[in-house]
């Protein structure tokens, strides 16, 4: 049976009150996407608003290009999928084997408190299915709860974009909150590697990656979980 993974991307493209644009980080989509399809997985893309998922323009700069982003730039099929994402409210956990949330700053604004996303992740976890996030998309886990009413990240080893990484990109005062701080506030056992180093961790059904460099690693952990 072909495995099916849902990838949930942001629809948010405004970087706070800076007048600059944000969205999803290309590498954090591209590296997992190609890991999945190269493994024969069927991938569906969803966003809160459906349609075009906004790309963070910073993530298209030369410094941030990788083999995966180069492949995306030449891949009309993948670009068409990004342009025609399905509406998040229309997807159902029962149709998928796992879910992956790529980062970029966008998710801080539209996936943290999104009731469709929260319910979706809760349904995945309650069904015994893995949920993977990377970088800022770990914010999508913040308000997810267990059946007991406790936060899903409570007592779990988790990671996400670090306070020091946010400071390095000079957005500490722009973002609505800091991912590291909020995971800790909800009882998560926050872990991290050095800034910009690849680091991903799995604790039960929750897989998290620290930063863009961790996106492929988080994807590999999800694939390994699905094939176990």
Closest Cα to residue 130, out of 203, 206, 220, 28?
206
38-70 per-position pLDDT tens digit:
999 999 999 999 999 999 999 999 999 999 999
CB-side neighbour CA atoms (13 Å) of 73: 12
Lookup: tokens for 29:
């989509």
Please state, rounded to an integer, the average pLDDT across all residues of the chain.
98
pLDDT for position 191: 98
Residues 6+ apart with CB under 8 A from 109: 10, 12, 14, 176
209-224 per-position pLDDT tens digit:
999 999 999 999 999 9
Q: In whole angstroms, what is the distance from residue 23 CA to residue 26 CA?
A: 9
Backbone angles phi, psi at 157, to 5 degrees: -70, 120
Whether the pTM exceeds 0.75: the reply is yes
Q: In whole angstroms, what is the distance from residue 100 CA to residue 47 CA?
A: 12
Q: In whole angstroms, what is the distance from residue 228 CA to residue 223 CA?
A: 9
Q: Are strands 130-134 and 86-87 parallel, antiparallel or unpaired?
A: unpaired
**Residue 221: strand pairing partners:** none
Lookup: tokens for 210:
């620290």
DSSP 165: H
Determine which helix (DSSP H) or strand (DSSP E) holds 5, and give its type and residue range.
Answer: strand 4-8
pLDDT for position 180: 98
CB-side neighbour CA atoms (13 Å) of 24: 31
Closest Cα to residue 5, out of 50, 45, 49, 48?
45
Closest Cα to residue 191, out of 156, 158, 151?
158
179-202 per-position pLDDT tens digit:
999 999 999 999 999 999 999 999
pLDDT for position 119: 98
Determine which helix (DSSP H) or strand (DSSP E) holds 122, and give its type and residue range.
Answer: helix 115-126
Q: Is the pLDDT of residue 1 over 90?
A: no
């Amino acid at each position: 049976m072909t495995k099916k993974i849902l990838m949930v991307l942001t629809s948010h493209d405004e970087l706070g009150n800076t007048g600059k644009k944000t969205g999803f980080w290309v590498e954090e989509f591209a590296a997992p996407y190609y890991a999945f399809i190269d493994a024969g997985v069927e991938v569906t893309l969803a966003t809160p608003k459906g349609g075009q998922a906004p790309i963070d323009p910073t993530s298209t700069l030369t410094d941030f290009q990788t083999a995966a982003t180069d492949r995306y730039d030449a891949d009309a099929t993948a670009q068409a999928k990004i342009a025609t994402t399905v509406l998040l409210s229309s997807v159902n956990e029962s149709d998928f084997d796992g879910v992956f949330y790529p980062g970029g700053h966008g998710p801080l604004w539209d996936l943290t408190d999104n009731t469709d996303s929260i319910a979706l992740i809760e349904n995945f976890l309650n069904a015994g299915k893995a949920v993977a996030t990377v970088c800022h998309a770990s914010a999508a886990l913040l308000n997810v709860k267990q059946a007991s009413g406790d936060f899903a990240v409570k007592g779990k080893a988790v990671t996400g974009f670090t306070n020091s990484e946010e400071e390095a990109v000079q957005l500490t005062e722009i973002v609505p909150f800091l991912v590291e701080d909020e995971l800790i506030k909800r009882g998560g056992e926050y872990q991290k590697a050095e800034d910009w180093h690849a680091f991903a961790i799995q604790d039960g059904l929750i897989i998290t990656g620290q930063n863009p460099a961790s996106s492929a690693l988080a994807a590999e952990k999800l694939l390994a979980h699905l094939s176990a």
